[in-house]
Structure 1
Amino acid sequence: MSSKAAEQKLDSAPLYTAIAYTLVAVIALICVLPFIVLVSGAFSSESAILKEGYWFWPRDFSFDAFAYIFRYPEDLLNGYKVSIIVTVIGTTLSLFISMMAAYVLSRKDLKHRNALAFFLFFTTLFNGGLAPYYIWLSRNLQLTDTYAVLILAPMFNVMYILILRSFIRESVPEPLIESAKIDGAGDFRIFMKMVLPLTKPALASIGVFTALAYWNDWWTAMMFTNKDDLIPLQYLLYKMLSSINLSAAMSQHVTNLDMPKETFKLAMTVIATGPIVLIFPFVQKYFVSGITIGAVKG
């Protein structure tokens, strides 16, 4: 009976595999279809979008939306430069400092570690409000119109620190750290040589979300920057969108129906998400490992 059961199990394995692949393909298609509609709409004319709506391929193929965005290529290139600098430096510093904080909170020999963790978590529930936040960064720290404000303001996410703390607890065995201390290694050396290599999946996962937060951040630039050379891509596109909406609202001519308002939004999304789409495949392996770690035990 056991051999027959094993044979039946082997015979049913290809069926289960086919069903699983089919479900995954359907889900992937559902996820990709909106992006296809987005790209096709970006290459359609404004009048076609307003009259016929969106579809899976361009209607009345047009580059008007992209031409409007690339009217000032210097500003666009500068926006890309600022966004890349802020995203790379900010993500690196955020991951490094957040991981150090998580490692400290994970140590059982740290006094009052629970109180420190509660202090961090408390800031996610209550804050001083927008006015004290603005006054502290602009007047006390004098970070206005600097790269520092674009990097430091969105740097810390307490939930990421707590997630990394839990990951370190489960992925870095306590005897391993104790043996390293017996051999004479200090905490910083243990952190650099042992903790960081063992937590690469978590770093990749949190790094993706942190990089997305930096890349999509336009609010910080709007609040704390007045210089044109410090405007990131997202805020530049936001200003362009506000300008085109204002121009459309002030105009009363029927011919302005061809002004790329809706298609501009789609083209703006394509330009803003392009670099992220290109980078994600390189970190996908670590990202998947990070979000599935601990899901199967035994």
Structure 2
Amino acid sequence: MKDTADVQSGLDKFNRIKPITNLVFHVLFILLGIVSLFPVLFVVIISLTAESSIQEHGYRLIPSAFSLDGYRFLYQQSDMILRALGVSVFVTVVGTLLGIALTTSMGYVLSRPQFRLKKFMTWLVFIPMIFNGGLVSSYFITANLLHLKDSIWALILPLAVSSFNVIICKTFFRSTIPDALVESAKIDGASQLRIFFRIVLPISLPVIATIGLFLCFSYWNDWFQSMLYIDNQNMYSLQALLNKIMGQADYLAQNAASLGVSVADLAAKMPKESARMAIAVIIVLPIACAYPFFQKYYTSGLTIGAVKE
């Protein structure tokens, strides 16, 4: 018992942090936090700045005049924005769940040493991460071969699985899930699906949260798939719709002289810069609120699980 206490006391010495070092770390992380939050705060301030103030003084941390014109401009498009928001939420939720299911199952299969096609399938997954077929082949398969043009699945399936995520899952399962744990479950009569869903996934929350966060960001920020495959405006995602609204605003502002009087007046009064920042706030806010729910799973599950003696 005395030896154990001495060893523990020795380890505590190595784990101790001096007060001055602790203070330096606190100051450093506070500064890093301020640096990280400043751009977000600046974007919010610009979205609340009057367009005349931006044109006269440029971007300022403390504007000379505040205004909600950028948000009013977006409120005028509220029907379209709410519909596009519904599309983005549906695509993000369904795509993330489908992507997690496909990615984790592929990663688990490739991590098992008994899988006979392991080497071939690993190369099949790895090669597209280095070389891909390009945009033309992707468009041909999605639009012409699978006939997904103007379909909600055109926004989901192309982003559901990536080689990078599969490799992450494979590495995690191979280094974290003991072979003895899987073998003991087989001895007890568990099938592969039962082992995967009842044993492997519950102790793999960190990698599930990581892949889920990657997929969530990817789906929520995507506008390119809508531009490629969606012609029906009622099926635009939020990012694609706001990108189009901003593009139309730029077009009206740049061509006001050649347009009709009423449209020219609209272009002159349009809060272009504040509306651009308001769009950024609307896009970032939901995903920023979702991030803390993923973060708590990063460290959980790392030491869960046991091997039968």
Per mean C-alpha deviation after superposition, the further-off stretch among 150-159 and 11-20 is 11-20
TM-score for the superposition, normalised by structure 1: 0.90
Post-superposition shift, 1:95? 0.5
Post-superposition shift, 1:120? 1.0
User: Following the alignment from structure 2 to structure 1, what is the Cα–Cα distance between the partners of residues 197 and 266?
Assistant: 63
User: Following the alignment from structure 1 to structure 2, what is the Cα–Cα distance between the partners of residues 188 and 7?
Assistant: 44
Query: Cα 1:10–1:122, aligned 2, differ >3 Å: closer, same or farther?
Result: closer
Identify the residue that residue 21 of structure 1 maps to in structure 2. 26
Matches within 5 A, 1:135-150: 135-150=140-155
Aligned residue among 161, 168, 187 for 1:156:
161
Cα distance per residue 1:7-29 (max 9 Å; x no partner): 99899632222211111111010
AA partner of residue 246 (structure 1): Y
User: Following the alignment from structure 2 to structure 1, what is the Cα–Cα distance between the partners of residues 149 and 293?
Assistant: 35
Q: Which runs of 5+ in 1 are unaligned?
A: none
Q: Which runs of 5+ in 2 are unaligned?
A: 1-5, 258-263, 304-309
Per mean C-alpha deviation after superposition, the further-off stretch among 83-92 and 40-49 is 40-49
Post-superposition shift, 1:273? 0.8
Indicate whether 1:131 and 2:136 are aligned.
yes
- Alpha-carbon contact 2:95-2:157 (below 8 Å) kept: yes
Identify the residue that residue 237 of structure 1 maps to in structure 2. 242
Query: Cα 1:7–1:127, aligned 2, differ >3 Å: closer, same or farther?
Result: closer
AA partner of residue 208 (structure 1): L
Aligned residue among 173, 186, 210 for 2:191:
186
Query: Cα 1:282–1:102, aligned 2, differ >3 Å: closer, same or farther?
Result: same
Post-superposition shift, 1:265? 1.5
AA partner of residue 46 (structure 2): G
Identify the residue that residue 267 of structure 1 maps to in structure 2. 278
User: Following the alignment from structure 1 to structure 2, what is the Cα–Cα distance between the partners of residues 112 and 230?
Assistant: 40
User: Following the alignment from structure 2 to structure 1, what is the Cα–Cα distance between the partners of residues 17 and 224?
Assistant: 54
User: Following the alignment from structure 1 to structure 2, what is the Cα–Cα distance between the partners of residues 286 and 272?
Assistant: 24
What is the CA RMSD across the aligned residues, in angstroms?
Answer: 2.4
Cα distance per residue 1:212-263 (max 9 Å; x no partner): 1000111101111112221110000011011000001101379955532222
Identify the residue that residue 284 of structure 1 maps to in structure 2. 295
Per mean C-alpha deviation after superposition, the further-off stretch among 176-185 and 122-131 is 122-131
Query: Cα 1:71–1:189, aligned 2, differ >3 Å: closer, same or farther?
Result: same
Matches within 5 A, 1:220-259: 220-252=225-257, 258-259=269-270
Aligned residue among 196, 199, 214 for 1:209:
214
Q: What percentage of residue pairs aligned between the two structures are identical?
A: 31
For the residue of structure 1 that corresponds to 2:18, the secondary structure is helix
User: Following the alignment from structure 2 to structure 1, what is the Cα–Cα distance between the partners of residues 190 and 292?
Assistant: 36
Query: Cα 1:7–1:72, aligned 2, differ >3 Å: closer, same or farther?
Result: closer
Post-superposition shift, 1:126? 2.0
- Alpha-carbon contact 2:252-2:267 (below 8 Å) kept: no
AA partner of residue 273 (structure 2): E
Cα distance per residue 1:13-60 (max 9 Å; x no partner): 322222111111110100000111000000001221232222334441
Identify the residue that residue 42 of structure 2 maps to in structure 1. 37
Query: Cα 1:73–1:57, aligned 2, differ >3 Å: closer, same or farther?
Result: same
Identify the residue that residue 84 of structure 1 maps to in structure 2. 89
Query: Cα 1:193–1:51, aligned 2, differ >3 Å: closer, same or farther?
Result: same
AA partner of residue 14 (structure 1): P
